[in-house]
Amino acid sequence: MGELLIKGGTIISRGKRFKADVLVADGKIVRVGQDLTASESAEVISAEGKYLSAGFIDLHTHGGGGADFMDGTVEAYATALATHACHGTTLLYPTTLSSTTESLNESLKNYQEALDANLKGAQMGGLHLEGPYFAYEMKGAQDPRYLRNPEREEYVALLDKANGSIARWSLAPELEGAATMAKELKKRGVLMAMGHTNATFEECEEAFEAGFTHMTHFYSCMSSVTRRNAYRYAGVVEFGYYKDDVTCELIGDGIHVPQSLLRLMFKIKGAERIALCTDSMRGAGMPDGVYKLGSLTEGQDVVVEDGVAKLMDRSAFAGSVATMDRVVRTVWQLTERPLEEIVRSATETPARIMGCDDRKGSIEVGKDADIVIFDEVVNISHTIIGGEVFYEK
């Protein structure tokens, strides 16, 4: 792997922006500074008049480009990874949906096959299991046929088979059996996230003490203040704001979470505790129409229209069709916060949440050369993964 020199760009990293060149060799960033030079054989990219940052990290995506990670084929993985890389994502966490035990086992096998295939496109940091242990009242677009309480025999078998490939598990912490499951997940180093949950504030406190430190698609499918007779009870949303040590994941398409709440989130939680994500389904990067949410065999039909996916009866959103460039652009425009903050939520913060910030998430010497170059409205011109140019407009 040869050298790559990126000249003249404005770097956005760790909440700051500054003009500098970046020299890459052997897949790593080796120098960041002024007037850098490289060998005669080096590839040179001019980033004059453009921004460059660490590659975007998507903690929650089900697919894109017409493919879903639960389709059961390496080809589906290849399509989704390439699609998201063309939109600036250099690392993602393939996400499942609530389904049968058999389908989840199949997902584990397919993920390993995709890893072994050394596919081009966005890298994979591990699986994110979304469900099937969710509150029925907060099911959203999760298929209610597959919702259930955690059963130790099932989740231990899945964890054993995964052999470390499960990076994160989203579940409702108030369910019977969730506390016992939390002990097992914590022991194995799996990130625990509250998701699709109807928990009270007090139940969230207990969940946090058990190891739940992250919240899945904040505001979407989670409880807020409720009233029972004359009394009011705080919910998951209030706990997310209250607890500084809890990080929140945000679907940044501008539809799942409206402008007013986007502004509130960044004002209260701050970019260092918010990770932008897409929660994209197979319709990301595709035209409007009817698509399967989940696998082609067991998924349910959803309609893509108005920039989002919806259940066929339009009663709920069914994932997004966003890509990370759209997410960064949209959240930046709607919040009117500095671009440095929004980029942090798409790079450094998710890297820290997933424990890979020693290698990913910022433009610094020694880190992986995962770099994205974009213009003043976040149109991607280059995606560089492991020091190699994957996408060039």
Q: Does pLDDT of 299 surpass 90? A: no
Q: Is residue 234 scored above 90 in pLDDT?
A: yes
What's the whole-number average pLDDT of the chain? 96
Number of H helices, E strands in the chain: 10, 25
Q: Let me know whether 382 and 337 are in one domain.
A: no
Which one-letter amino acid corresponds to residue 208? F
User: Token pair for residue 265?
Assistant: 């989130």
Predicted local distance difference test score (pLDDT) of residue 228: 85
Number of compact structural domains in the chain:
2
**How far apart, in Å, are the Cα atoms of 209 and each of 156, 217, 317, 376?**
21, 21, 31, 43
Taking Cα atoms as reference points, which of 13, 51, 49, 40 lies closest to residue 29? 13
- In whole angstroms, give the CA distance from residue 68 to residue 319: 12
pLDDT at 1 over 80: no
What residue type is assigned to position 18 of the chain?
F
- The pLDDT confidence band at residue 205, using thresholds 50, 70 and 90, is very high
Q: Which of 91, 95, 64, 60 is nearest to 79 (CA)?
A: 64
The confidence score (pLDDT) of residue 334 equals: 98
Confidence grade of residue 276 (pLDDT, cut at 50, 70, 90): very high
Residue 297: which pLDDT band, with cuts at 50, 70 and 90? confident
Q: Give the Cβ contact number of residue 241 at 10 Å.
A: 15
Using CA atoms, how far apart are residues 91 and 181, in angstroms rounded to an integer?
27
Residue 74 is assigned to a structural domain of this protein? yes
Q: Tell me, yes or no, whether 294 lies in a domain.
A: yes
Name the strand (E) or helix (H) holding 260.
Answer: helix 259-268
Residue 31: give its domain's CATH number. 2.30.40.10
Q: Is residue 190 part of a domain?
A: yes
Q: Are residues 60 and 47 in the same domain?
A: no
> Is residue 176 one of the residues assigned to a domain?
yes
Q: 28: which strand partners?
A: 25, 368
Looking at the fold, whether 133 and 27 belong to one and the same domain comes out as no
Over residues 369-383, the pLDDT tens digits come to 999 999 999 999 999
CATH number at residue 318: 3.20.20.140
- Regarding whether 24 and 156 lie in a shared domain, the answer is no
- pTM of the model as a whole: 0.97
Residue 287, domain member (yes or no)? yes
Does residue 245 share a domain with residue 166?
A: yes
Angle at 213 between CA 81 and CA 207, to 5 degrees: 125
Radius of gyration of the chain (CA): 20
For residues 74 and 184, membership in a common domain is answered with yes
| Residue 366: inside a domain | no
pLDDT > 90? residue 348: yes
Q: In terms of domains, do 219 and 294 share one? A: yes
Cα–Cα distance between 370 and 375 in angstroms, integer?
17
**Shared domain check, 101 and 41:** no
Q: How far apart are CA 36 and CA 125, in angstroms?
A: 32
Confidence of residue 247 (pLDDT cuts 50, 70, 90): very high
Is residue 368 a part of any domain in this protein? Answer: no
Q: What DSSP string runs through 186-231?
A: HHTTPEEEE-SB--BHHHHHHHHHHTEEEESSTTTTB---EEETTE
Residues 18 and 131 in one domain: no
Please state the rounded mean pLDDT for residues 355-372: 98
Instruction: Mark whether 248 and 279 lie in a shared domain.
Output: yes
Q: Are 348 and 361 in contact (CB under 8 A)?
A: yes
Q: Indicate whether 369 belongs to any domain.
A: no
99-143: pLDDT as tens digits: 999 999 999 999 999 999 999 999 999 999 999 999 999 999 999
The answer to whether residue 68 scores a pLDDT higher than 80 is: yes
Q: Which two tokens stand for residue 271?
A: 């970019």
Whether 86 and 33 map to the same domain: the answer is no
- Assess contact for 79 and 71: CB atoms under 8 A: no
* Residues 187 and 46 placed together within one structural domain of the fold: no
**Would you list the DSSP string of 281-307?**
-TTTTS-SEEEEES-TTT-EEEEEETT
pLDDT of residue 293 exceeding 80: yes
What average pLDDT does range 9-33 have in this prediction? 97
φ, ψ (nearest 5 deg) of residue 214: -135, 155
- Residue 12 pLDDT grade (very low, low, confident, very high; cuts 50, 70, 90): very high
Q: Give the structural domain span for 80.
A: 56-360
Our CA dihedral for 299, 77, 247, 183, rounded to 10 degrees, sits at 80
